[in-house]
Amino acid sequence: MAEQKLPTRAEDFSEWYNQLVLKAELADYAPVRGCMIVRPYGWSLWENIQQALDKRFKATGHLNAAFPLLIPQSFIEKEQSHVAGFSPELAVVTIGGGEKLEEPLVIRPTSETIIGHAYAKWIQSYRDLPVLINQWNSVVRWELRTKLFLRTLEFFWQEGHTAHATLEEAEAETRQMLDIYTDFAVNEAAVPVIPGRKSASERFAGADQTYSIEAMMGDGKALQSGTSHNLGQNFAKAFGIRYLDREGVLQFCWTTSWGLSTRFIGAIIMVHGDDQGLILPPRLAPTQAVFVPIFKTDEEKAVVLDAARKASAALVAAGIRVRTDERDGVSPGFKFNDWEMRGVPLRIEIGPKDVAKGTVVLARRDKPGKEGKSFVPQEGLAAVVAKTLEEIQKALLDRARAFRDAHTREPKSFEEFQAAVETGFALAFWCGSADCEAKIKDKTKATMRCIPLEQEGGAGVCVLCGQPATDKGIFGRAY
Amino acid sequence: MAEQKLPTRAEDFSEWYNQLVLKAELADYAPVRGCMIVRPYGWSLWENIQQALDKRFKATGHLNAAFPLLIPQSFIEKEQSHVAGFSPELAVVTIGGGEKLEEPLVIRPTSETIIGHAYAKWIQSYRDLPVLINQWNSVVRWELRTKLFLRTLEFFWQEGHTAHATLEEAEAETRQMLDIYTDFAVNEAAVPVIPGRKSASERFAGADQTYSIEAMMGDGKALQSGTSHNLGQNFAKAFGIRYLDREGVLQFCWTTSWGLSTRFIGAIIMVHGDDQGLILPPRLAPTQAVFVPIFKTDEEKAVVLDAARKASAALVAAGIRVRTDERDGVSPGFKFNDWEMRGVPLRIEIGPKDVAKGTVVLARRDKPGKEGKSFVPQEGLAAVVAKTLEEIQKALLDRARAFRDAHTREPKSFEEFQAAVETGFALAFWCGSADCEAKIKDKTKATMRCIPLEQEGGAGVCVLCGQPATDKGIFGRAY
């Protein structure tokens, strides 16, 4: 029964986010600085994300496995870029079973090294390829500035790791997984994302090529929401992952890795949420519809609850994730606010008059007030609810896409560029030099999010230096 | 194409187990001593175990969540018995982000402490109770003698943690979860288990009462396969988990915890496996049936593969987990051995003569040789396969139960007791004293596994001291 009011997004977007995460009971702070407890409501959302991704991974031939969380510190040092990228962020175990360890162990910050070690042992011949493995786990990176879901010391994710006979196959896998992330984001989370290629400076430590999906949050900032890496032969050479080809010649494998984390929950919050709280896309919502019974007397209560339970049972039978809020001692108004804070896509109100008329009131979370309300018959309710949930799913995607497009500009000058990244994205030609990229970041705090895979074609000049450029990049300030 | 032959169980049960785990590709050793990689085949089995348990947990009102793996070392010290039990086994992180930590952190050996801390914050009133949360994760305990699945530094499990208003509710929850483990073991894994109460000396560190399910392995030894603890108010008092009752009085909660781990995979291996390898219960098997096509010429191959694929599709449509072994360059005999090693419950052979006759050969994994073979029509195959899988499931349970009963004795004297625990279990009256329990262990290496919940009634005398006793205990040598 805590005070449920959030600061508005316009007032303080960051504080709106922090309070929403706590008040919707998605997550909580842990006793260790920067660590996170994902509460049941947040974890149910993550389970739905997991299922949506996992079925796509399995449909493309991947299997899950589990690798240990403890890695010998020396492993991290075997791949040159990898050690540079991850060494400053490690959590190190120096004592085990009461004794100082001979070699310190690190808690995995990511698992390329230990999986590379295993693949070197398992892979002998071209017959063993490709190896297509994923794991659902958590990793630890010693971050200094943390924020629930967006950046925490420990976070939950999946990391896929594959090994292939050729560069072409590895690149095809890298792109396939990027496509899967894009499909998931757009069609399950209603989050429109831009799939593209990272610049060299933003690549994963140890990758030849990194691709990402980038989304625009409600404050116009960018969130990298999933990444897919072509690791070339870097880890194969560091760990000796080799195979005998059809001609009997020993070759190094080509490997990939790709990951999507609980950070994506932050994207869902910041893309869809409004000043009343969370708005969840129906396909991922733990609860898709909630019945709120309305009554004054005990007689009314008996009649209304009976009708609500019957209607709810029909929805459950139709595969809709529904619950009935039967809490005593709290008003319907309190319940409305509570389920709005938690972002349940559809509220179903039922009172004595509704029972008499054989109707209910549907109230869409994405359309506050009268606009989102409709009176529908109890008979055939499941079909109407299912259809309404699909409409909400589509409306959320359309709205997010319209918002992003309205906040994306194609600047004609660097002045326009600077103005664009104040409020959203700039889509601009870039010469490709790290120097221009660094200067842009320095002057505007905006980074090159990605070079979108879809390009209009044609050529132009770099928005900063004026040199010829062939590709446009998406620039924005990022989380 | 490695040498596939195992030592027999009679020759060397322990080495049979070790080699089977590796050759069936269930798990592998990790570079860190005592850690384990669960390979895709083993993890698919674990995923099926997870699903079978998770649906039971959710059906009884539990939700999943995720708590951090890093715990302040001081937390472990807050509950007196807990610190005594777990301190010697901790992995300690002393360095984070390149700097020495002010307070060392431990990797969770179990999560009562960090969850107790969170519950103290979340629970205010009787309206907040019960809290019913589970998590699927891994924990680390610095074990000295390790064995894949049975005892590893890091292992995978679920740990449920609940908080209640009364002792009675906590005890009912503890027993409910023991019942769920029993139901899972018997009806999904075909592992007959004995649910019972642990003696004080075998209780979880911090529990008032520990219950377990105990199974007999193929060598007559016992494996504790799941535990459920009534923690009384011990952790509630250590972490201040309190609620205002209906009268407005502040009360300590009563808490429980319960867990089942990847150790259970060890039980499945050692209960059902034979000298040819693994035998998986159909309800949990990643692959329930495998088609092995048999042909010599290319023409035969085309015809046979076509028939196998069509038959396989019909089985998939019926919800059966099936695959077709289309590997080139290996003989049918090799494939037979390979799938036997991996314990696939049913092999379906199909050759040119079968195609001509419209039949296939079914070969049951649990009945080697002619006894387990039958010729059945391709028409209506799915129904026959489904029925056969159910028969195998039942046969495995019956066989395991018969083995256990044949290796369980009710000794009339201590001499008979000593002989009984050489080859299996002894079910014997025990006076209840820790002294007798310790002496029995000392003399026979057998421990009191549990006091079965089901007792015949009546009274007797302690098998060691001859004093009056009311309950019989199961004694055995244990993993």
B363: three-class secondary structure by DSSP: strand
Closest to B67 (Cβ–Cβ): which among A37, A46, A107?
A37
What mean pLDDT is reported for chain A?
96
Domain boundaries, chain A: 13-272, 289-388, 408-476
pTM, 2 dp: 0.97
For residue range A300-344, what is the model confidence (pLDDT) as tens digits? 999 999 999 999 999 999 999 999 999 998 999 999 999 999 999
Closest to B91 (Cβ–Cβ): which among A30, A46, A96?
A96
H or E element: which one contains A163?
strand A154-164
- The packing angle between helices B13-23 and B263-272, to 10°, is 110
CATH label, A408-476, candidates 3.30.2420.10, 3.30.110.30, 3.40.50.2300, 3.30.413.10: 3.30.110.30
Q: Which two structure tokens, joined as six digits, stand for A340?
A: 């709005």
Distance from C-alpha of B446 to C-alpha of B441, rounded to nearest angstrom? 5
Is the Cβ–Cβ distance between A218 and A122 less than 8 Å? Answer: no
Is the Cβ–Cβ distance between B217 and B121 less than 8 Å? Answer: no
For residue range A214-231, what is the model confidence (pLDDT) as tens digits? 999 999 999 999 999 999
Q: How far apart are the first and last CA of chain A?
A: 32
Helix, strand, coil distribution of chain B in percent, nearest 5? 40, 30, 35
| pLDDT digits (tens), chain B, 479 positions | 445 689 999 999 999 999 999 999 999 999 999 999 999 999 999 999 999 999 999 999 999 999 999 999 999 988 888 788 888 899 999 999 999 999 999 999 999 999 999 999 999 999 999 999 999 999 999 999 999 999 999 999 999 999 999 999 999 999 999 999 999 999 999 999 999 999 999 999 999 999 999 999 999 999 999 999 999 999 999 999 999 999 999 999 999 999 999 999 999 999 999 999 999 999 999 999 999 999 999 999 999 999 999 999 999 999 999 999 999 989 999 999 999 999 999 999 999 999 999 999 999 999 988 999 999 999 999 999 999 999 999 999 999 999 999 999 999 999 999 999 999 999 999 999 999 999 999 999 999 999 999 999 888 999 999 999 999 999 999 99
For residue range A40-64, what is the model confidence (pLDDT) as tens digits? 999 999 999 999 999 999 999 999 9
Does B32 reach chain A within 8 Å, measured CB to CB?
yes
Show residues of chain B in contact with A104, CB under 8 Å: 95
C-beta atoms of A75 and B31 within 8 A? yes
Is the Cβ–Cβ distance between A400 and A272 less than 8 Å? Answer: yes
**Nearest C-alpha of chain A: how many angstroms from B67?**
5
C-beta atoms of B95 and A104 within 8 A? yes
Show residues of chain B in contact with A122, CB under 8 Å: 28
Q: What is the pLDDT of residue A1?
A: 44
Beta strands B91-96 and B99-107 are antiparallel
| DSSP codes joined into one string, A255-320 | EEEEEEETHHHHHHHHHH-BTTB----TTT-S-SEEEEE--SSHHHHHHHHHHHHHHHHHHHHTT-
For residue range A422-446, what is the model confidence (pLDDT) as tens digits? 999 999 999 999 999 999 999 999 9
CATH superfamily, region B289-392:
Anticodon-binding domain (3.40.50.800)
Does the pLDDT of residue A125 top 50, yes or no? yes
Place of tokens 């296939």: B360
Alpha helices in A9-86 (DSSP H): 13-23, 40-59, 73-76, 80-86
Q: Residue A3 — very low, low, confident or very high, per pLDDT cuts 50/70/90?
A: low
CATH superfamily, region A13-272:
Bira Bifunctional Protein; Domain 2 (3.30.930.10)
b/e per residue A18-52 (b: at least 16 CB within 10 A): bbbbebbebbbbbbbebbbbbbbbbbbbbbbbbeb
Q: What is the pLDDT of residue A84?
A: 84
Size of interface A-B (CB pairs under 8 A): 164
Q: Residue A81 — very low, low, confident or very high, per pLDDT cuts 50/70/90?
A: confident
Which value does ipTM take for this structure? 0.96
Does the pLDDT of residue A233 top 50, yes or no? yes
Q: What is the pLDDT of residue B3?
A: 54
**Nearest C-alpha of chain B: how many angstroms from A332?**
17
Show residues of chain B in contact with A32, CB under 8 Å: 68, 70-72, 105
Closest to B32 (Cβ–Cβ): which among A30, A70, A95?
A70
Helix, strand, coil distribution of chain A in percent, nearest 5? 40, 30, 35
The upper half-sphere exposure of residue B202, i.e. CA atoms within 13 Å in the direction of its Cβ, equals: 24
Distance from C-alpha of B84 to C-alpha of B72, rounded to nearest angstrom? 16
C-alpha distance from residue B44 to each of A27, B114, B192, B262 (Å): 29, 30, 22, 12
Rg (CA), chain A: 25
Whole-number percent of chain A with pLDDT over 90: 94
Domain A289-388, CATH: 3.40.50.800
C-beta atoms of A66 and B35 within 8 A? no
E strands, B178-282, are: 194-197, 209-216, 222-230, 242-244, 250-252, 254-261
Place of tokens 């288990």: B193
Q: Which two structure tokens, joined as six digits, stand for B465?
A: 């001291």
